[in-house]
Amino acid sequence: MTSGLPRVENTAETVAIYWDFENLHASLVDQEHGAGTYESNRFRPQEEILQISTIIEFALSVGPIAINRAFANWVSFNRYKTQLLESAIELIQVFPPGANAKNGADIKLCLDVMDDMVRFPHICTIIVVGGDSDYMPLSYKVKAAGRTLIGIGSERSTNRHWARSCHEFKFYESLLSSTPTPTTARPARESVTAAEPTAPAKSLMESSTGTSGLLTQEDEEELCELLVMAVSPAARQQAARDLVIKAITRLSQTRGETWIQKARLRPFIQRMDPTFNESTFGFRSFIEMMASMSDIVESRKGRFDHELRLRGGTPCPEQ
């Protein structure tokens, strides 16, 4: 009878992320406000200092996410609610056993990784978000099981031995600095009707007349976005360009190469936004969408597939 962790080949590149959420948050708070700040305020409502999407986008550039699980005492992290929901993170509550005790998230995280590697052999890459040296024993097990281990932590507080025990380690600050955001600001509501509305926009506005008291804030924001998209085809096209720039930038940064395989681009965009469809931006196909961007994206025939890169001088989306 044999036992142990099944070894799998890293072909599917399926990713599992495990967040020691409080660990990274505390590191960033102390980095921003001084050492010991988090510890003295750990049971108070916490500020929203961590940009979760930065780490999610990096993980998606590695492969599709199968597990996205975060461990913390969530009582103090209500301000992260929107980010956590948008990132589809499974939240695991870990209560500290005492006022001065650790919450034990690192132990629970390690046990879950070990269990998931046995239960889900299709998972090829393990990403651990946390900088403690406590994760070093886990690194030995993950590598022995034939999985790829990537660590993510803050520059100032990450244990260097833990970082070196990973196949790859990314500092949160470096991911943040390389994360492009849309170049176009979201149009204000009062500017939505500045242009002559199209027929779909008129229909939407007429159907919403007199219903403002019945709409929730979320409904109003969604309606506003629909009106903006209907009024301005240019806004749709700029949104598509921003999305492509963001995707190529992230793939290039992750793989350390200027040129990326064309075949990787659309699947990555789809992972970033599962609702992605070319028709939303006014195009009939992805090929047509990319053809409209020849001024910012250049193509060449690579060894196995066509390759893409951003043209020199293409403005990166502003932070």
Q: Are residues 244 and 159 in the same domain?
A: no
Q: Are residues 197 and 118 in the same domain?
A: no
What is the number of domains present in the chain? 2
The residues, any chain, with a CB within 8 Å of residue 91's CB and separated by 6 or more, are 70, 72, 74, 84
Residue at a domain's end among 142, 177, 212: 177
Q: Are residues 167 and 26 in the same domain?
A: yes
Q: Are residues 90 and 195 in the same domain?
A: no
Q: Are residues 69 and 131 in the same domain?
A: yes
- Residue 163 near residue 27, CB atoms below 8 Å: no
Q: Tell me the residue range of the domain where 165 lies.
A: 14-177
Beta carbons within 10 angstroms of residue 112's beta carbon: 16
Residue 230, token pair as written in the block: 């209907």
Question: The domain that contains 288 carries what CATH number?
Answer: 3.30.420.610
Contacts 24+ apart (CB under 8 A), 177-182: 178/249, 178/250, 178/253, 179/51, 179/53, 179/54, 179/57, 179/250, 179/319, 180/242, 180/245, 180/246, 180/249, 180/250, 180/316, 180/317, 181/246, 181/317, 181/318, 181/319, 182/239, 182/242, 182/246, 182/317
Q: Answer whether residue 4 is part of any domain.
A: no
Please give the Cα distance from 176 to 147 (Å, whole number): 26
Q: DSSP per residue over 218-268, as a string? A: HHHHHHHHHHHHHH-HHHHHHHHHHHHHHHHHHHHHHHT-SSEEHHHHHHH
Q: Are residues 45 and 141 in the same domain?
A: yes
Q: Are residues 223 and 289 in the same domain?
A: yes
Q: Are residues 150 and 230 in the same domain?
A: no
Cross-strand pairs, 306: 301
Per-residue pLDDT of the chain (319 residues), as tens digits, is 445 555 544 444 899 999 999 999 999 999 999 999 998 898 899 999 999 999 999 999 999 999 999 999 999 999 999 999 999 999 999 988 766 656 689 999 999 999 999 999 999 999 999 999 999 999 999 999 999 999 999 998 999 999 999 999 999 998 887 655 544 333 333 333 344 445 555 555 555 545 445 556 666 666 666 555 555 677 788 888 999 999 999 999 888 888 999 998 998 898 888 778 888 888 889 999 999 999 999 999 888 888 999 988 555 554 4
Q: Answer whether residue 22 is part of any domain.
A: yes
Q: Answer whether residue 318 is part of any domain.
A: no
Q: Answer whether residue 146 is part of any domain.
A: yes
The reported pTM is: 0.69
Q: Answer whether residue 23 is part of any domain.
A: yes
Q: Are residues 89 and 232 in the same domain?
A: no
Residue at a domain's end among 177, 200, 227: 177
Q: Are residues 210 and 283 in the same domain?
A: yes
Question: The domain that contains 88 carries what CATH number?
Answer: 3.40.50.1010
Q: Are residues 168 and 256 in the same domain?
A: no
Residue at a domain's end among 109, 142, 177: 177
Please give the Cα distance from 39 to 78 (Å, whole number): 18
Q: Answer whether residue 224 is part of any domain.
A: yes
Q: Are residues 66 and 194 in the same domain?
A: no
- To the nearest 10 degrees (0 to 180), the angle between helices 105-119 and 136-144 is 0
Q: Answer whether residue 183 is part of any domain.
A: no
Q: Render pLDDT for 245-255 as a digit per residue (tens, 0 to 9).
A: 999 999 998 88
Residue 161, token pair as written in the block: 């031995």
